[in-house]
Amino acid sequence: MLKEYIDIGYIPEETDLVCEYQLETASGISFEEACSHLAGECSFGIWNDISLLSPKMAEKLKPHVFYIDKKKHTVRISYPQDLFEFCSVAQIIITVAGRMLDHKMMSRLKLHDITFPTDPLSELWGPKYGMGGIRELTGVYDRPLVSATVKPKVGLDPATHAKVAYNSFVGGCDLVKDDENLTDQKFNRFEKRAELTFKARDDAEEETGERRMYMCNITAPTCEEIIRRANFISNIGGHYVMIDTVPTGWSSLQTLRDVTEELGLVIHAHIMGHTAFTRLEEHGISLYLMTKLARLVGLDQLHIGTIDNRFHENTKELMALYDCCIMDRSKGNEKMHILPQNWDGIKAMFPVVSAGSGVSSIPELMNIFGKDVIMDCSIGMHSHPMGTSAGAKACRQAIDATLSGISLEEYGKNHAELQTALKNGI
């Protein structure tokens, strides 16, 4: 049966799910043998006697290894739709990237991308709001949105946390969020923090006349508690929730998406921790695929990194992630192991660039990403010598200068906050 999986030249059906892998075989194992075992493990299982299956069912569920490039260590496998519970991302991933990541026939195995057929995409929500809905909610249409994370990451009491958020808001920050490891600790209880920070948001909106959004981290020990916290945010006037995607898991994320459909909440996704299985170039699951899955399950906005920062992304990869967030149709990129994808009308997920977006880097980021991006400018805001509020003003001034085609140095001559930031290398 294993040899029958090799079917070079097979043309995938429109309903097939197609995966691209990169693999290195163990000593003494041929590339074709490894590919056959990969297809077998992702379907019937290679040790089981499939004689119990009817020939009709065996043929219906059989995967096809239809493309092999030994020089690039690349293989594409087409899986029949009936292998999957298409509304379950967890089941899809455990099928195509489960046992084989630890199989002794392969020293390395990387799942780079999946092309999802268009018909079952309707079974996955996609974002409720996405980029367009968030722009409508905030009333900001002609520039990047400005975001900040309350710092320090942990240790602040709820009142001080709310004060930092207020200073960010009044300075011009559209969105303020918790850090990924702030949930419901003794020094900063979830409900009290939310209540005080939403009060700070309301005060800032009254003072500035602009919409402001607080993204409270609802990551919790159980799915039930995540949902309870989402309901709490909705009941006290929130429009956003934040969730740590990797530790929370796909099933909990899909449950949250179902609940937010009724609650009308935007989901901000923090993806730190992904490098445990994305960082190695030759093993694990790609960050591109993680981003694609985040959009499929319905997260409205997602951190994708930033240019030349302290984490492990590069410019080409970030642009691919950006395109994955917003494009309606991808043609694919063979060099980057990206497959074609028709999103079939699923809304764009708003990309967030962060972790180093200081004031001086804003022109470069806007040159790369344009207006359709959320900039987390926490470093530039909170490290400003004149305080967080001045730091937020400097970020907005840098955006205004860039949109006007004026250098930051020139614009700073009449804007003290920006000039001070530049003089201090922020």
The amino acid that residue 71 corresponds to is K
Paired tokens of 246: 């990797």
Secondary structure (DSSP) of 52-69: GS-HHHHHHH--EEEEEE
Contacts of 352 (CB under 8 A, 6+ apart): 147, 268, 301, 302, 303, 304, 373, 374, 375, 376
| Amino acid, single-letter form, for residue 118 | T
Is beta strand 74-79 parallel, antiparallel or unpaired with respect to 17-25? antiparallel
* Gap between the Cα atoms of 105 and 56, Å rounded: 30
What CA–CA distance (Å, rounded) separates 132 from 350?
8
CA 277 centroid distance within chain:
15
Backbone φ and ψ of 255, nearest 5°: -65, -45
d(CA 313, CA 396) in angstroms, rounded, equals 26
- CB of 160 within 8 A of CB of 224? no
Q: Which candidate in 37, 270, 292, 384 is catalytic? A: 270
H/E element holding 198? Answer: helix 190-208
Burial of 146 (0-12, 13-18, 19+ CB in 10 A): buried
SS3 266: strand
Residues, the chain: 426
Q: What is the β-pairing status of strands 213-217 and 374-376?
A: unpaired
HSE on the CB side for 204, CA within 13 Å?
27
Whether 101 contacts 283, CB under 8 Å: yes
Phi and psi (nearest 5°) for 74? -115, 140
303 labelled catalytic: no
Which one is catalytic: 62, 64, 128, 151? Answer: 151
- Catalytic-residue membership of 270: yes
Q: Minimal CA–CA distance to 164: which of 362, 358, 354, 383?
A: 383
Residues with catalytic function: 151, 270
